[in-house]
A and B are shown apart, each in its own frame.
Chain A
Amino acid sequence: MIDFKAEMERFKPIMEIDELEDSIKTYDMEDMIDILKYLSEENAKN
């Protein structure tokens, strides 16, 4: 049986073109490689 409430929670508003600029400005460009680099640098210091 479908749980309407649970199903509805899956539907979120989708970003519109007008919000694109703000979305990119606030986008945090961090990936796993950034984390690994950070860890390597920390290890090198120690």
Chain B
Amino acid sequence: MIKCPNCGEILDNSKICIKCGADAILLGKAVELSNKLYNDGLRMAKCKDMSGAMSCLSKSILINKRNINARNLLGLLYFETGRIGDALKQWVISTNIKETSNAAGEYIEDYRKNEKEYKKLNEALKMYNQAVKFMQQKSDDMAVIQLRKAIDINPKFVDALNMLALCYILQNKDSKADEVIKSVLNIDVKNTAALRYYRHLHPDKGTHFEEAPIKKISDREPTLKYNSNVVKGGAKSKVIELAMFIIGCVCTAVIMYILVIPGISEAKEEEMKTVQNEFEEMKKDYDEQSNVNADKIKKLEEENASLKVQNEQYTKQANEQAMSDKISNANSLFSEGNVEEAISIIGGIDAALLSEENKNAYNEIKDKAYSSRAKTMYNEGKKLYDRKKYDEAKTALNEGIVYGDGNLQAKYSSMYYLGKIYMEEGDNERAKECFSQVKDNHPDKSMRGYASGWLNGL
């Protein structure tokens, strides 16, 4: 009983499927060929012939894309040789073809769990790609730097190792190239590029490479895990493994105690010292900066005080100049005979703010103007008195008294006639006050006598 490899329909004697119309014999042969290539690939992978295995497995899935064993193994080999992106691609396609009971699902799950580590491996890929660009630009020095970094991250990255070997050959660093080539051949025993480089470096040895003992990939494939270093055995080997693990732990603890922990303590102490020194330096800087700032503030305060004094001086000078101008103006007006306006200006001057020099000039013009005004007002008042216009006469005579401090003649003469007006009006008390002052202060003896006479009459 034959099943159609395409749809699973049971075929009778016909080689053509009644349901899907496929040539079952031909399809069967194709599936068989794909499986054979997978088996070849698996055998080669177990012998660490990665290149040969990858070639067989690629052909296998080219014939039958649904051969998930071939696809999963191809992914593992890509992973083993550093091609993480290609590995994931095969596993993703594999899980799309068969979602359940598929090892690729576990590999993808592992990727999800250890994404950080995979990203690191991906960094190695980026560095390799960058190195390819550098090499195309003939910057082999730069390429070597990138490749070494990539290999530090993933020492099994075959393409990076091969390119590094080529760089070293170009730079005539044969011993380094030889070392790298041997690393490649330990991972992939029949890597064609590595063998070519090996032959270039060892032309006497022909194609023979002294291989390290081959570590076989586990026989568990197709459910083979990509971590091929894990070799599982029976219960006895598990006990040995456990014992070895415990011994390993103890040794590690001893080494940590003897070597690493004192080193860490010393490093910590060193770090603390460094931090303390840094702190002290920062404090010193801060103190210095504070002192500088204090000095700056003091200097600025001094400057400010000095500017204030200057400002006061300037203000004072400006005021004095203004006062001097006013006095000068008052003098000019007085000279022109405009006594009233000169007095108005003199009245607007604050004598307390004047300098000594201005004060003298001020007093001089004030005396002259006020004396002149007192005399004028006295004359005016006397005329009005003679015309018996007592109210107007009183106003003029009072002004003569106010301005008469520098002209006692005008002042007390005004007071005399003011007394006479009060007497005429019957205000004897005020008249007495006026005559009394005239009697005591008038510079003219005859006027003092007249005032005395009137006082006696009242």
Give A contacts to B, CB under 8 Å. 1-2, 4, 7-8, 10-20, 23-24, 27, 29-34, 36-37, 39-41, 43-44
Contacts and interface: CB of A to CB of B under 8 A. Distances in A.
B251 to A, nearest CB: 37
B455 interface: no
A17 B193 CA distance: 25
15 contacts: A7-B193, A8-B136, A8-B166, A13-B132, A15-B86, A16-B85, A16-B125, A16-B126, A31-B62, A31-B64, A32-B30, A32-B63, A33-B31, A39-B23, A40-B16
Interface stretch (B87-95, B285-293, B332-340): B87-95
Contacts of A24: 89, 92-93
Given A7-B193, A16-B85, A32 B64 contact: yes
B65 A40 contact: no
Contacts of A34: 65
Given A19-B85, A36-B26, 6 more contacts: A1-B200, A2-B169, A2-B196, A11-B135, A13-B129, A14-B129
B22 interface: yes
Contacts of B193: 7, 10
Contacts, number: 104
Contacts of A10: 193
A11 B64 CA distance: 28
Contacts of A1: 200
Contacts of A12: 132
B65 A11 contact: no
Contacts of B118: 17
Interface in B289-321: none
Contacts of B159: 11, 14
A36 B86 contact: no
B256 to A, nearest CB: 35
Interface in B109-126: 118-119, 122, 125-126
Given A12-B132, A15-B83, A40 B166 contact: no
